[in-house]
Amino acid sequence: MTLYVVFLRYVACIKKLPFKEVTKFIDNDGDILSIIEDRFNNPNNTVKVNIDDL
């Protein structure tokens, strides 16, 4: 069974994600946030990664 399937099965059974959202930013994180917002709004520039390569 792949990790993805295990993750989905966990979420289906427990009905919540196995982590909680954490929002903590420092004042100088503006550049990082703008990059994140840009990538979120324009998801066409994705990079395909094989889980085995990680």
Range of the structural domain that residue 24 is part of: 19-54
| Residue 10, in any domain of the structure | no
Q: In the prediction, which pLDDT does 13 show?
A: 92
pLDDT tens-digit map of 26-37: 666 777 878 788
What's the CA gap between 38 and 32, in Å, rounded? 10
Q: In the prediction, which pLDDT does 16 show?
A: 86
Q: How many domains does the chain have?
A: 1
Q: In the prediction, which pLDDT does 35 show?
A: 79
| Residue 7, in any domain of the structure | no
pLDDT tens-digit map of 1-54: 788 888 899 989 988 888 877 666 666 677 787 878 888 888 776 677 888 877
Residue 41, CA distances (Å) to 17, 33, 34, 35 in order: 23, 12, 10, 10
Residues with Cβ < 8 Å from 43, sequence gap 6 or more? none
